Amino acid sequence: MSSSAVIQGWAVGLATAPVQGNVAFRMYEGGAAKLELTAPPSLPTFRYVSFANSLLGVAVVNPNSYSLTVQLTLRNQAGGTLGSRSFTLAPNAHSSFNLNSKFPDIPATASIEITTTDTRSGIVAWTVYSDESGIISTLPDGKLGWPNSQWEQIWLAYIRVFNAAQFLGITTMGVNLNSPPATSLRISYERVLNARAFRDGRVEITVGLAELMSDSQSELAFIIAHEIGHIFQYKLGSNAFSQNVETDADQIGMLVSLAAGYDPYAAAGALAKLSMASGKAGLLSQFYDDLSSDPHHSFGTRIENVFDLMLSICADPDFASFCSQYKDLIHPHFPPGAPLGIGLRQMR
């Protein structure tokens, strides 16, 4: 800490259960702490935008196993382009710099846009404000997307659902449960709407299906939990609740996503969107749960079955108080007799 050398690098944090935290950066002069900045940890994005001035500190990381081309676009107050620069980051490499090293003439009011044309997992970026007075401060997270990066949405939902499945004993095959489940999820950019489960424990989700769920991570979590339900069926060699394979996976999915802390009512929303997408729009892949032969008649029944399971859970004396607590916290304005679900933390 007394060294005059500037040490640069980046770090990645992994956990076996979902966590929240901050990253703290402390600056020392002569061995004495002078400044500390805190920032939330960040996941990859395809587009990052920040306020810009000449001394803005910029850090960009390529967290992937392949090279990426990063594009910097400087814009004026009206949004016009003042200049652009690009550079390549090798796998797991990073670059950090003051913005005036890339753009010597920066107006007092400007913005910087950091993008990559890669469609797989993007970059991690961070900016720090500084000016001639010596003031240094953090800036808001500049990740952009509507509503969020679908890659990020899928991973966040998958990790929570995966850990809830472990807690319930609904584990996936072929996966080391003591290590992060990186090898058991595949995100596909194939231009179809599809989700699949494999007998070796892998789950595949297409980005298009996540886009269908768009602004509801609870609906996406139900779809992922449904696929984990199929893996549990493979492990059991039979169904768990229902004779119908898809209805059974729905019920397992509702329980697992509910245990992960997602809204159980999202199961109906997810199934309704799938029903709409499989109709005249013809959006669903023909392989999605083999429903292409009869998409219109099955979804309504599946929604009813999931709702009936929710009713039976809340009617059980062991879970009635949990349903009430969940309702008071998540759905305080629902009618008094409305059924709810139970959260993972409450189950413990």
Note the pLDDT of residue 54: 93
Domains of the chain: which residue ranges? 43-138, 150-347
Note the pLDDT of residue 345: 38
Q: What is the DSSP string of 226-272?
A: HHHHHHHHHHHTS-SS-SSHHHHHHHHHHHHHHHTT--TTHHHHHHH
CATH class of 43-138: mainly beta
Q: How far apart are CA 267 and CA 328, in angstroms?
A: 20
Q: Which of 6-20, 21-35, 50-64, 266-280 has the lowest mean pLDDT?
A: 6-20
Question: Using 50, 70 and 90 to split pLDDT, how confident is the model at 42?
Answer: confident
Q: pLDDT per residue over 104-142, tens digit each?
A: 999 988 999 999 987 777 899 999 999 888 888 888 888
User: Among 318, 343, 309, which residue's Cα sits nearest to residue 328?
Assistant: 343
Note the pLDDT of residue 172: 57
Q: How far apart are CA 90 and CA 45, in angstroms?
A: 17
With contact defined as beta carbons under 8 Å apart, do 227 and 203 qualify? Answer: yes
Note the pLDDT of residue 291: 45
Computed over every residue of the chain, the mean pLDDT equals 82
Note the pLDDT of residue 285: 56
DSSP class of residue 101 equals G
Question: Using 50, 70 and 90 to split pLDDT, how confident is the model at 145?
Answer: low
- Bridge partners, residue 39, by sequence: 23
Q: How far apart are CA 193 and CA 269, in angstroms?
A: 16
Does residue 178 have a pLDDT over 50? Answer: no
Average pLDDT over residues 163-175: 72
With contact defined as beta carbons under 8 Å apart, do 9 and 124 qualify? Answer: no
State the pairing for strand pair 57-61/23-29.
unpaired
Tell me the torsion sign for CA atoms 163, 168, 169, 173: negative
Amino acid at 49: V
Average pLDDT over residues 275-295: 57
Q: How far apart are CA 56 and CA 130, in angstroms?
A: 6
Distinct helix (H) and strand (E) counts, the chain: 8, 13
DSSP class of residue 184 equals G
Average pLDDT over residues 244-264: 88
